[in-house]
């Protein structure tokens, strides 16, 4: 009994809760659109006829087409009124805006017609920007002209659409300029209501049942005169073109005048829709449902559902009946919601929520198991799960492949028989450790297995897990399993080993790599006793790059291999040779007290490498330089090697001596070189570079005919730095291209201001000539500066021809074709070969100052100068003698026949202004 009471209360509580929710929803307007929809459906199903007392005389398309003007002249409305009055119309509503004046005679004609109608005409008035609820004094009223107002009735025509843009409500009248003005509908129907209140139009009245005629048919006398007898006539727009259309329920879009008629018909037939408050109805229905539930407690759910459905149907029928018979709108959404809500809750109760949730959980579990099983089976890793007895619980497809034993793929197989010992031990001890609470993850482990056909490297990871179990009706965390994921990394390992070998050895020569050399030497140094010392020798092949370019890379490679082979063979107690740079090799050796032993060894190695090689059928000779460093206390291998390399740099620069011992002072020079190297890059931007000009003199008359541009660098901290120091650095780091381009441009711009066609000579570095596009640079400089080409001289040195490169020759030809003059600089200082002089496209030869300065009448230099002079005459070159410091030198050279001179005697490299002062 108590149980029944309890469930009864629950049912009642449910129903009341749903009912209250529905009432609240309704009050909040949340059911409005549902109710409107239902009401529209009902309205559409009901068909009401218009009474026929109100007739629509439409300004339709036919009428517009016939009269061809719009707006119509007011005389026309006068004629319409006259005709209707003549036909005995009871009253006429002219739904036309007459608030503005038109032509006076037209207005007068209409006013006359209104007068003749004797007050039977209604005219529209409306307020603009009206909010729902009527006009406020601030709003503008559109009234018929006073002229018409006195002769007619004023009626309001304002309508206001609902929030959804659909017109349902219609006012009884409006307050316009302080006066109550009845609406047209109220006027025509004779039914009035409080001004400012509205009624709901009954759209069940079919617009098609309103008698309707066309204005033009009236005007042209085509209508039966009895048509309008005793009728109210609404004259208004019906043509779509006139856009007086509004959105309404059921019928979609209707013309404004038709809506006025429907509103009037609604009032006339007394069928304005009255909406009732659904709350009492909901309360009533809730009581009914509760009573029914209480009476038929054990009713089957099916019956209950049928009952609810029937109740819903009954409510709809009732609503339909109320609307069609009594024009009463019963909002049924809340009622249906109550039925639906209680039905749904009953259904949930019936279906047993718990069962559903359980089912869902089971589906979820099955799904994730399936996904896991798929992942497990398809995993590229081998996975095996075992339990504490060592039996295999699960295995993945790849496990069989990886461990190559078919036993793995059998459930229950003993892992100790099928897996490598170490893995089996790891698995078992992981489970034991987890049980004892001392397990820590060792991470990935590696193992090499011997399989038929070689080694197999695998990587694996073991993880134990604790599972839940049910023991004696209680859940325990007592089961422990372990899994192993493993993968074959043989390919990767082989790759790694190869990379390691590459890192340790130079692939071309088989010599040690630089890093390997340093590593081994460090190990040796660590092992050696404190008194023991080590020496490092670095050797570099002389002119290897030239040889590589001329004989080809394959010979170059063969040479490097042969050098290493020789170094390996020479057994002087030294380490394996290392290739520490392109053509730089290093060896190390323990050495005694003095450094002599090391220097001797280095000299021996240089001699060894300088022996001719026979490569690919040609005999190749290369020279070599060597740098030596002997360990200072506590030095590291890398520093030792670095010192030897610095010494080698010195050896390469020095004349003669092929071997250099490391000298800490040279470290400072190197440091400065490195500093300059980086500072150079910004020197142009920072305006630190500038040109000095050294005059060039025609010896016959001592006139200044040109100048050589010599670059200068004023560094903000280091002061003036000479080109002898930084040009080599710029050539080394590639900055020379930028520098050369800048110098050429600056010199050309400067020279343009010089008098008497003075020439400017610009030095072009061999590196710049080889790597940069000097031809294009020169062309641009000439174009941009406007300097005539024959005033630009470029000075090149012999060293470029050592490479014997054909394209260089082409570049020189191109430059000369442009009209630029070429001078061979420093002739006699380097390779001085007469043989190629004839092959070069030259204009001038500049005899190196070395010759000039050691000149004395009758000696060998004088003979050389003479023969150079003869040769240049023959080839059509002029001769410039550099480094003229004394008057004797000048006179001697002039007497020999030298054309031009340059030297401190005539002028030092100087600012342009000084040069110009001198030239004038
Ligand atoms: P270089 O082309 O042989 O320039 C002539 C050098 O001899 C200049 O040294 C000049 O000052 C010096 N000199 C001139 N007359 C006498 C003399 O009577 N007695 C002595 N003892 N020396 C004299 P500087 O200016 O130090 O230039 C050195 C070298 O730097 C130049 O030698 C040239 O090879 C290079 N250089 C200078 N400016 C540039 C440049 O703009 N581009 C390139 N690529 N190299 C440049
Ligand atoms: Ca020069
Ligand atoms: Ca020179």
Tens digits of residue pLDDT in 348-362: 777 776 777 788 888
Give 759 Cα–ligand 1 centroid separation in angstroms.
Answer: 17
Q: Is the pLDDT of residue 133 over 80?
A: no
Determine the Cα–Cα distance for residues 491 and 486; give it in Å rounded to an integer: 15
What is the distance in angstroms between the CA of the first residue and the CA of the last residue of the chain?
A: 136
Question: What's the rounded mean pLDDT across residues 637-646?
Answer: 89
Judge contact between 680 and 874, C-beta under 8 A: no
Residue 202 phi/psi, 5-degree rounding, is -95, 105
CA 837 to chain centre: 61
Helix, strand, coil percentages for the chain (3-state, nearest 5): 50, 25, 30
Closest ligand 1 atom to the C-alpha of 846? 3
Which residue is closest in CA terms to ligand 1's atom 10?
Answer: 909
Q: What DSSP string describes 456-501?
A: EEEEEEEEEEEEEEEETTEEEEEEEEEEEEEEE-HHHHHHHHHHHH
Residue 598 exposed, middle or buried by CB count within 10 Å (0-12, 13-18, 19+): buried
Which residue is closest in CA terms to ligand 1's atom 8?
Answer: 710
Closest ligand 1 atom to the C-alpha of 795? 2
Which residue is closest in CA terms to ligand 1's atom 3?
Answer: 826
Give 556 Cα–ligand 2 centroid separation in angstroms.
Answer: 34
- Ligand 1 test: best mutation among 695, 720, 723, most atoms within 8 Å of CB? 723
pLDDT band at 703 (very low <50, low <70, confident <90, very high): very high
Which residue is closest in CA terms to ligand 1's atom 43?
Answer: 763
Name the percent of the chain lying above pLDDT 90: 39
Q: What is the pLDDT of residue 373?
A: 84
Name the percent of the chain lying above pLDDT 70: 93
Closest ligand 1 atom to the C-alpha of 764? 44
Show which residues are catalytic: 882
Closest ligand 1 atom to the C-alpha of 743? 41
Task: Tell me what the pLDDT averaged over the chain comes to.
Answer: 86
- Ligand 1 test: best mutation among 720, 742, 763, most atoms within 8 Å of CB? 763
Closest ligand 1 atom to the C-alpha of 826? 3
Which residue is closest in CA terms to ligand 1's atom 34?
Answer: 763
Which ligand number lies closest to the CA of residue 799?
A: 1
As beta bridge partners, residue 463 has 483
Which residue, 379, 409, 378, 381, is CA-closest to 395?
409
Which ligand number lies closest to the CA of residue 694?
A: 1
Q: Is the pLDDT of residue 831 over 60?
A: no
Closest ligand 1 atom to the C-alpha of 740? 42
Give 609 Cα–ligand 1 centroid separation in angstroms.
Answer: 36
Output the CA torsion 93→95→101→102 (10° steps): -100
Q: Kindly list the protein residues whose Cβ atom lies closer than 6 A to any atom of ligand 1.
A: 694, 709-711, 722-724, 727, 740, 743, 763-765, 795, 825-826, 849, 883-885, 902-904, 909
Question: What's the rounded mean pLDDT across residues 739-764?
Answer: 96
Question: What's the rounded mean pLDDT across residues 35-53?
Answer: 89
Q: What is the pLDDT of residue 793?
A: 97
Highest mean pLDDT among 288-297, 532-541, 685-694, 829-838: 685-694
Judge contact between 713 and 750, C-beta under 8 A: no
Residue 82: count of CB within 10 angstroms of its CB: 15
Which ligand number lies closest to the CA of residue 848?
A: 3
Which residue, 221, 361, 346, is CA-closest to 292?
346
Q: What is the pLDDT of residue 726?
A: 93
pLDDT band at 134 (very low <50, low <70, confident <90, very high): very low
The model carries a pTM of 0.42
Give 727 Cα–ligand 1 centroid separation in angstroms.
Answer: 10
Helix or strand holding residue 255 (H, E): strand 252-255
Which residue is closest in CA terms to ligand 1's atom 37?
Answer: 710
CA 621 to chain centre: 58
- Ligand 1 test: best mutation among 694, 707, 708, 710, most atoms within 8 Å of CB? 710
Which residue is closest in CA terms to ligand 1's atom 30?
Answer: 723
Judge contact between 728 and 672, C-beta under 8 A: no
Going by C-beta distance under 8 Å and a sequence separation of 6 or more, which residues neighbour residue 432? none
Which residue is closest in CA terms to ligand 1's atom 35?
Answer: 723
Judge contact between 659 and 628, C-beta under 8 A: yes
**Phi/psi class of residue 47: alpha, beta or left (left: φ > 0; alpha: ψ in -120 to 50)?**
beta
Judge contact between 601 and 574, C-beta under 8 A: yes
Helix or strand holding residue 625 (H, E): strand 624-630
Give 814 Cα–ligand 3 centroid separation in angstroms.
Answer: 23
Question: What's the rounded mean pLDDT across residues 564-582?
Answer: 87
Residue 710 phi/psi, 5-degree rounding, is -125, 125
Burial 384-416 (b: 16+ CB within 10 A, else e): bbbbbebebeebbebbbebbeeeebbeeebebe
CA atoms within 13 A of residue 86's CA, in its CB half-sphere:
13
> In Å, how far are 160, 260, 313, 766 from 44, measured between CA atoms?
22, 19, 18, 101
Question: What's the rounded mean pLDDT across residues 41-49?
Answer: 89
Determine the Cα–Cα distance for residues 403 and 393; give it in Å rounded to an integer: 16
Judge contact between 282 and 22, C-beta under 8 A: yes
pLDDT band at 130 (very low <50, low <70, confident <90, very high): very low
Note the pLDDT tens digit of each residue in 502-531: 788 888 998 999 989 999 998 888 887 777
Give 880 Cα–ligand 3 centroid separation in angstroms.
Answer: 10
Residue 639 phi/psi, 5-degree rounding, is -70, -40
Note the pLDDT tens digit of each residue in 864-919: 788 888 888 888 999 999 999 999 999 999 998 899 999 999 999 999 999 999 98
Q: Is the pLDDT of residue 835 over 80?
A: no
Give 78 Cα–ligand 3 centroid separation in angstroms.
Answer: 117
Q: Range with the lowest mean pLDDT among 592-601, 642-651, 737-746, 798-807? A: 798-807
Closest ligand 1 atom to the C-alpha of 692? 25
Which residue, 345, 282, 343, is CA-closest to 307?
343
Determine the Cα–Cα distance for residues 880 and 696; give it in Å rounded to an integer: 9
Residue 560 phi/psi, 5-degree rounding, is -60, -45
Which residue is closest in CA terms to ligand 1's atom 2?
Answer: 763
> In Å, how far are 201, 310, 337, 650, 762 from 316, measured between CA atoms?
21, 10, 13, 111, 108
Q: Are strands 198-200 and 792-797 parallel, antiparallel or unpaired?
A: unpaired
Q: What is the pLDDT of residue 5?
A: 63
Judge contact between 198 and 171, C-beta under 8 A: yes
Which residue is closest in CA terms to ligand 1's atom 45?
Answer: 763
Question: What's the rounded mean pLDDT across residues 708-718?
Answer: 95
Note the pLDDT tens digit of each residue in 241-266: 677 788 999 888 898 899 999 999 99
Q: Is the pLDDT of residue 767 over 80?
A: yes
Residue 57 phi/psi, 5-degree rounding, is -110, 105
Tokens of 58: 């439409």
Residue labelled with tokens 């080889």: 770
Tokens of 341: 């809500």
For the chain, the residue count is 920
Which ligand number lies closest to the CA of residue 827?
A: 3
Give 829 Cα–ligand 2 centroid separation in angstroms.
Answer: 12
Determine the Cα–Cα distance for residues 708 and 695; give it in Å rounded to an integer: 7
Give 891 Cα–ligand 3 centroid separation in angstroms.
Answer: 20
Q: Is the pLDDT of residue 131 over 60?
A: no
Q: What is the pLDDT of residue 792?
A: 97
Determine the Cα–Cα distance for residues 831 and 853; give it in Å rounded to an integer: 19
Give 848 Cα–ligand 2 centroid separation in angstroms.
Answer: 9
Closest ligand 1 atom to the C-alpha of 691? 41
Which ligand number lies closest to the CA of residue 846?
A: 3
CA 655 to chain centre: 59
Note the pLDDT tens digit of each residue in 461-471: 999 998 887 66
Give 710 Cα–ligand 1 centroid separation in angstroms.
Answer: 6
Q: Are strands 759-763 and 173-176 parallel, antiparallel or unpaired?
A: unpaired
Judge contact between 154 and 143, C-beta under 8 A: yes
Residue 846 phi/psi, 5-degree rounding, is -105, 115
Q: What is the pLDDT of residue 857?
A: 67
Which ligand number lies closest to the CA of residue 823?
A: 2
Which residue is closest in CA terms to ligand 1's atom 40?
Answer: 763
Q: What DSSP state is assigned to residue 391? A: B
Residue 494: count of CB within 10 angstroms of its CB: 12
Residue labelled with tokens 């030897």: 644
Burial 517-544 (b: 16+ CB within 10 A, else e): bbebbeeebeeeeeeebbbbbbbbbbeb
Q: What is the pLDDT of residue 111?
A: 93
Closest ligand 1 atom to the C-alpha of 885? 18
């Amino acid at each position: 009994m108590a149980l029944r009471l309890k469930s009864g209360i629950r049912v009642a509580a449910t129903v009341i809760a749903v009912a209250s929710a529905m009432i609240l929803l309704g009050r909040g307007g949340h059911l409005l659109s549902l109710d409107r929809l239902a009401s529209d459906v009902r309205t559409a199903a009901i068909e009401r006829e218009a009474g026929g007392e109100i007739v629509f005389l439409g300004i339709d398309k036919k009428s517009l087409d016939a009269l061809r003007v719009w707006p119509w002249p007011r005389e026309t409305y006068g004629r319409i009124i006259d005709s209707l009055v003549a036909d005995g119309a009871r009253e006429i509503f002219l739904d036309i805006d007459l608030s503005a004046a038109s032509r006076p005679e037209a207005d007068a004609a209409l006013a006359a017609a209104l007068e003749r109608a004797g007050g039977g005409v209604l005219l529209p008035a409306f307020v603009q920007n009206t909010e729902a609820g009527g006009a406020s004094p601030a709003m503008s009223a559109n009234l018929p002209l006073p002229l018409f107002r006195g002769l007619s009735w004023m009626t309001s025509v304002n309508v206001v659409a609902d929030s959804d843009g659909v017109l349902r409500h219609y006012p009884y009248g409006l307050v316009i300029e302080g006066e109550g003005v009845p609406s047209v509908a109220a006027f025509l129907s004779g039914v009035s209501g409080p001004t400012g209140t509205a009624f709901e139009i009954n759209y069940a009245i079919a617009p098609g049942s309103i008698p309707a005629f066309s204005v033009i048919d009236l005007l042209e006398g085509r209508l039966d005169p009895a048509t309008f007898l005793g009728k109210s006539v609404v004259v208004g727009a019906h043509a779509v073109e006139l856009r007086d259309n509004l959105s309404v329920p059921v019928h979609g879009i209707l013309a404004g005048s038709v809506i006025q008629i429907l509103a009037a018909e609604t009032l006339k037939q007394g069928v304005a829709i009255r909406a009732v408050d659904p709350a009492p109805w909901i309360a009533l229905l809730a009581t009914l449902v509760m009573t029914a539930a209480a009476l038929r407690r054990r009713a089957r759910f099916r019956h209950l559902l049928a009952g609810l459905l029937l109740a819903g149907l009954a409510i709809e029928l009732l609503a339909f009946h109320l609307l069609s018979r009594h024009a009463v709108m019963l909002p049924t959404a809340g009622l249906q919601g109550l039925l639906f809500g209680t039905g749904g809750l009953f259904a949930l109760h019936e279906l047993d929520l718990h069962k559903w949730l359980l089912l869902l959980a089971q589906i979820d579990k099955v799904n994730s198991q399936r996904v896991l099983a798929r992942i497990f089976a398809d995993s590229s890793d081998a996975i095996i799960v075992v339990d504490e007895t060592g039996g295999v619980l699960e295995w993945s497809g790849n496990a069989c492949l990886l461990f190559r034993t078919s036993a793995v793929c059998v459930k229950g197989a003993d892992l100790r028989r099928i897996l490598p010992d170490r893995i089996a031990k790891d698995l078992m001890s992981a489970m034991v450790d987890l049980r004892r609470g001392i397990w820590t993850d060792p991470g990935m482990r590696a193992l090499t297995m011997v399989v038929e056909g070689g080694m197999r490297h695998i990587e694996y990871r073991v993880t134990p897990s604790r599972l839940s179990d049910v023991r004696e009706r209680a859940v325990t965390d007592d089961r422990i399993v372990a899994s192993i994921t493993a993968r074959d990394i043989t390919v990767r390992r082989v790759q790694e080993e190869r990379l390691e070998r590459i890192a340790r050895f130079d692939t071309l020569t088989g010599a040690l790599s630089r890093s390997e050399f340093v590593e081994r030497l460090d190990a040796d140094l660590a092992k050696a006793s404190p008194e023991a010392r080590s020496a490092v020798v670095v050797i570099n092949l002389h002119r290897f790059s030239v040889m590589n370019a001329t004989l080809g890379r394959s010979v170059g490679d063969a040479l490097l291999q042969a050098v290493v082979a020789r170094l390996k063979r020479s057994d002087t107690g030294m380490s394996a040779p290392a290739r520490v740079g392109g053509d730089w090799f290093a060896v190390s050796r323990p050495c005694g007290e003095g450094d002599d032993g090391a220097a001797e060894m280095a000299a021996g190695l240089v001699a060894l490498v300088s022996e001719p090689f026979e490569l690919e059928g040609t005999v190749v000779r290369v020279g070599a330089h060597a740098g030596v460093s002997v360990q200072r206390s506590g030095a590291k291998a890398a520093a030792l090697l670095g010192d030897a390399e610095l010494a080698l740099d010195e050896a390469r620069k020095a004349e003669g001596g092929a071997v250099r011992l490391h000298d800490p002072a040279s470290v400072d020079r190197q440091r400065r070189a490195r500093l300059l190297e980086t500072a150079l890059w910004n020197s142009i931007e920072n305006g630190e570079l500038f040109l000095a000009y050294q005059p060039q003199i025609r010896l016959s008359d001592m006139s200044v005919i040109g100048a050589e541009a010599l670059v200068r660098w004023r560094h903000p901290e280091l002061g003036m730095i000479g080109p002898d120091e930084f040009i080599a650095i710029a050539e080394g780091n590639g900055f020379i291209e930028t520098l050369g381009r800048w110098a050429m441009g600056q010199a050309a711009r400067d020279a343009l201001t010089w008098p008497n066609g003075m020439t400017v000579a610009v030095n072009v570095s061999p590196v710049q000539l080889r790597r940069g596009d000097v031809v294009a640079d020169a062309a641009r400089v000439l174009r941009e500066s406007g300097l005539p080409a024959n005033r630009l001289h470029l000075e090149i040195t012999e060293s470029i021809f050592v490479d014997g490169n054909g394209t260089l020759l082409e570049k020189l030809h191109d430059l000369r074709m442009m009209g630029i003059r070429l001078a061979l600089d420093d002739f006699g200082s380097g390779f001085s070969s007469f043989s190629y002089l004839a092959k070069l496209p030259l204009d001038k030869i500049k005899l190196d100052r070395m010759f000039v300065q050691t000149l004395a009448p009758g000696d060998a230099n004088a003979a050389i100068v003479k023969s150079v002079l003869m040769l240049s005459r023959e080839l059509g070159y002029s001769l410039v003698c550099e480094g003229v410091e004394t008057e004797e030198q000048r006179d001697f050279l002039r007497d020999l026949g030298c054309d031009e001179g340059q030297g401190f005697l005539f002028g030092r490299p100087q600012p342009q202004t000084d040069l110009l002062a001198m030239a004038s």
